[in-house]
């Protein structure tokens, strides 16, 4: 997962990009970066941490130029260190190249090997660097043909914001796994992972960048091309379930409304007798609203979230991870005591966090705890840019629902059905990737899911 942003041409390009990255912070909290271009000079600043840790007013003012590209990172290939931060920037024979990438390539190993055999020297262990090497090796003599050729070599998931000298480029793979939208602000074009970033700077949403589309933004306007053969679509359904911000429109449709529909469907499939419905905040909140509305069971907050813990809270051991779960959500004894509760969770990955939460709710006096999950069991790893653990770490891949229920300590546990999830979506079911639930990978079924693929 990552958030990407770009703007051109605007005199406050760095400032707007910094605000855009604030809005996209939920997509990556490990590192943040912005590159700008002023005449023939590029200015880059990036570092580990949240946007607010990495940037201040003085730094933003030093990033001069009308073109800016920004990135917030959640590592899905390459570990979390300063070298593996983006935008990735190089000077090359074709000019200045800067890359902000969301998604995972699935032919990373073969491309990396081929490039190394041809003399490429890699500076990072991110798959995104491969794109820079391909661009730099192109024998085409204009930016359009260079990009078409380089991206034609890639397989897998990419939404990209690129700087190629004084051209801002937005591109999405033909399957469209990751979102990317186009907006306009004060005469400048804006590219962003999610529409919430456009909203924050007051930009007008124009449309999504389409799967397989590349847009070239120059000072005098925008050109769009679709040079590749069409494939099926494979929009990541998990963006709707968990990742994207509820106030964003993803793949052209609102996330909040979709999550509420998931909750309504869950209530229809697995009714429960309870005194109230509570979410696991924040991501379970919208499905819980839908569940409450459909079931006519009142909505209550049984846990309150502490918003002031970021990822700087280092958690090397299970004990500290458990403590983090505790510090993040505090139960409301007055609300829970002696009550039958329907808990709405957006997903269960390892099961350890849900187990901790159920234990905390019981200790706070809840009488019965019925967990309902607004997606089907997660059984398979993701190769397209979501950092799901390996198959053996996904609790539902090796255990049935009854086992998971006992493991987390709930009185009952039910997951939304696959059909129910797809019926709740605002787009035809054929347009979605559901591989982490079904094991039906749109491409690269035999891929290995490993973040350190270029480190081994």
49-58 contacts at long range (C-beta below 8 A, 24 or more positions apart): 49/312, 50/25, 50/310, 50/311, 50/312, 51/18, 51/21, 51/22, 51/25, 52/22, 53/312, 55/18
Give the residue with the Cβ less far from ligand SF4, 36 or 265.
265
Report residue 339: phi and psi, to 5°.
-105, 150
Of 154, 382, 413, 453, the one binding ligand SF4 (CB under 6 A) is: 382
Task: Decide: is 386 part of the binding site for ligand SF4 (CB under 6 A).
Answer: yes
Interacting span for ligand SF4 (CB under 6 A) from 126-134, 299-307, 379-387, 395-403:
379-387
CA distances from 450 to 125, 321, 384, 455 (A): 12, 22, 11, 10
Q: Tell me the closest approach of the beta carbon of residue 1 to ligand SF4, in angstroms.
A: 9
Q: Tell me the closest approach of the beta carbon of residue 328 to ligand SF4, in angstroms.
A: 23
Selection from 15, 51, 4 nearest residue 185 by Cα: 15
Spatial distance between the Cα atoms of 415 and 379, rounded to a whole number of angstroms: 13
Site string for ligand SF4, 125-164 (x = CB under 6 A): ----------------------------------------
Task: Decide: is 434 part of the binding site for ligand SF4 (CB under 6 A).
Answer: yes
Tell me the Ramachandran region of residue 85: left when phi exceeds 0, alpha when psi lies from -120 to 50, beta otherwise: beta
- CA dihedral sign of residues 188, 193, 195, 200: negative
Task: Decide: is 348 part of the binding site for ligand SF4 (CB under 6 A).
Answer: no
Of 436, 443, 447, 454, the one binding ligand SF4 (CB under 6 A) is: 436
Task: Decide: is 443 part of the binding site for ligand SF4 (CB under 6 A).
Answer: no
Give the residue with the Cβ less far from ligand SF4, 398 or 445.
445
Q: How far out from the chain centre does Cα 269 lie?
A: 28
Task: Decide: is 251 part of the binding site for ligand SF4 (CB under 6 A).
Answer: no
Give the residue with the Cβ less far from ligand SF4, 94 or 436.
436
Of 433, 447, 453, 454, the one binding ligand SF4 (CB under 6 A) is: 433
Spatial distance between the Cα atoms of 428 and 437, rounded to a whole number of angstroms: 17
Q: Tell me the closest approach of the beta carbon of residue 154 to ligand SF4, in angstroms.
A: 16
Q: Tell me the closest approach of the beta carbon of residue 387 to ligand SF4, in angstroms.
A: 9
Query: Which residues does residue 329 pair with via DSSP β-bridges, in sequence order?
Result: 305
Looking from the CA of 380 toward its CB, the CA atoms found within 13 Å total 17
Q: Tell me the closest approach of the beta carbon of residue 209 to ligand SF4, in angstroms.
A: 17
Task: Decide: is 435 part of the binding site for ligand SF4 (CB under 6 A).
Answer: yes
Q: Tell me the closest approach of the beta carbon of residue 432 to ligand SF4, in angstroms.
A: 7
- The answer to whether residues 112 and 450 touch, using CB atoms and an 8 Å cutoff, is no
Interacting span for ligand SF4 (CB under 6 A) from 62-70, 116-124, 295-303, 378-386:
378-386
- CA dihedral sign of residues 141, 145, 147, 153: negative
Query: Which residues does residue 37 pair with via DSSP β-bridges, in sequence order?
Result: 42, 67
Q: What is the CA radius of gyration of the chain?
A: 22
Q: How many CB atoms lie within 10 A of CB 102?
A: 30
Interacting span for ligand SF4 (CB under 6 A) from 14-22, 208-216, 353-361, 380-388:
380-388
- The answer to whether residues 302 and 277 touch, using CB atoms and an 8 Å cutoff, is no
Spatial distance between the Cα atoms of 325 and 355, rounded to a whole number of angstroms: 10
Spatial distance between the Cα atoms of 226 and 20, rounded to a whole number of angstroms: 26
Give catalytic residues, as residue numbers.
Answer: 2
Interacting span for ligand SF4 (CB under 6 A) from 36-44, 188-196, 381-389, 397-405:
381-389
Q: Give the CB-nearest residue to ligand SF4.
A: 382
Q: Which residues ranging from 188 to 247 are in contact with ligand SF4 (CB under 6 A)?
A: 236-238
Task: Decide: is 276 part of the binding site for ligand SF4 (CB under 6 A).
Answer: no
- The answer to whether residues 349 and 388 touch, using CB atoms and an 8 Å cutoff, is yes
Give the residue with the Cβ less far from ligand SF4, 55 or 74.
74
Q: Tell me the closest approach of the beta carbon of residue 447 to ligand SF4, in angstroms.
A: 11
Give the residue with the Cβ less far from ligand SF4, 160 or 366.
160
Q: How many residues lie near ligand SF4 (CB under 6 A)?
A: 11
Selection from 53, 59, 56 nearest residue 36 by Cα: 59
Strands in 358-401 per DSSP E: 368-373
Interacting span for ligand SF4 (CB under 6 A) from 113-121, 252-260, 342-350, 431-439:
431-439
Spatial distance between the Cα atoms of 450 and 388, rounded to a whole number of angstroms: 10
Interacting span for ligand SF4 (CB under 6 A) from 74-82, 91-99, 419-427, 434-442:
434-442
Q: Tell me the closest approach of the beta carbon of residue 241 to ligand SF4, in angstroms.
A: 9
Of 88, 89, 175, 177, the one binding ligand SF4 (CB under 6 A) is: 177
Q: Tell me the closest approach of the beta carbon of residue 211 to ligand SF4, in angstroms.
A: 13
Chain residues that interact with ligand SF4, rule: CB under 6 A: 177, 236-238, 382, 384, 386, 433-436
């Amino acid at each position: 997962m990552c958030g990407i942003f770009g703007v051109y041409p605007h005199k406050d390009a760095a400032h707007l990009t910094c605000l855009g990255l604030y809005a996209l912070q939920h997509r990556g909290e490990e590192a943040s970066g912005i590159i700008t271009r002023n005449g023939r000079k590029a200015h880059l600043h990036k570092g580990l941490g949240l946007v607010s840790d990495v940037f201040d007013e003085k730094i933003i003012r030093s990033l001069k130029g009308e073109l800016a590209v920004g990135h917030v990172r959640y590592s899905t290939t390459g570990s979390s260190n300063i070298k593996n931060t983006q935008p990735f920037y190089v000077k090359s024979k074709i000019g200045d190249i800067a890359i902000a990438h969301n998604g995972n390539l699935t032919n990373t190993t073969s491309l990396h090997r081929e490039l190394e055999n041809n003399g490429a020297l890699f500076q990072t262990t991110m798959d995104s660097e491969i794109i820079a090497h391909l661009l730099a090796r192109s024998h085409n003599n204009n930016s359009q043909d260079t990009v078409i050729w380089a991206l034609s070599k890639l397989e897998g998931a990419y939404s990209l914001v690129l700087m190629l000298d004084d051209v801002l480029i937005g591109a999405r793979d033909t399957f469209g796994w990751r979102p990317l939208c186009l907006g306009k602000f004060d005469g400048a074009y804006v590219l962003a992972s999610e529409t919430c970033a456009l909203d924050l700077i007051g930009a007008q949403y124009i449309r999504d960048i389409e799967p397989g589309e590349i847009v070239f933004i120059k000072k005098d306007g925008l050109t769009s091309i679709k040079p590749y053969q069409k494939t099926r679509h494979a929009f990541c359904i998990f963006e709707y379930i968990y990742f994207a911000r509820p106030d964003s429109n993803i793949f052209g449709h609102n996330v909040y409304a979709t999550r509420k529909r998931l909750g309504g469907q869950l209530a229809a499939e697995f009714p429960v007798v309870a005194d109230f419905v509570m979410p696991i905040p924040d991501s379970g909140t919208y499905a819980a609203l839908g569940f409450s509305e459909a079931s006519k069971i009142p909505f209550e907050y049984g846990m309150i979230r502490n918003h002031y813990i970021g990822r700087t809270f280092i958690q090397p051991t299970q004990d500290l991870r458990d403590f983090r779960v505790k510090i993040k959500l505090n139960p409301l004894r007055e609300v829970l005591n002696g009550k039958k509760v329907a808990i709405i969770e957006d997903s269960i990955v390892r099961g350890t966090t849900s187990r901790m939460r159920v234990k905390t709710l019981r200790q706070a006096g809840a009488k019965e705890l019925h967990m309902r999950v607004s997606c089907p069991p997660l059984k398979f790893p993701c190769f397209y840019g979501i950092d799901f653990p390996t198959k053996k770490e996904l609790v539902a891949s090796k255990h049935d629902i009854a086992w998971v229920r006992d493991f987390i300590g709930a009185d009952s546990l039910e997951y939304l059905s696959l059909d129910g999830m797809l019926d709740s979506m605002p787009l035809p079911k054929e347009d979605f990737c559901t591989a982490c639930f079904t094991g039906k990978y749109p491409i690269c079924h035999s891929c290995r899911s490993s973040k350190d693929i270029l480190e081994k």
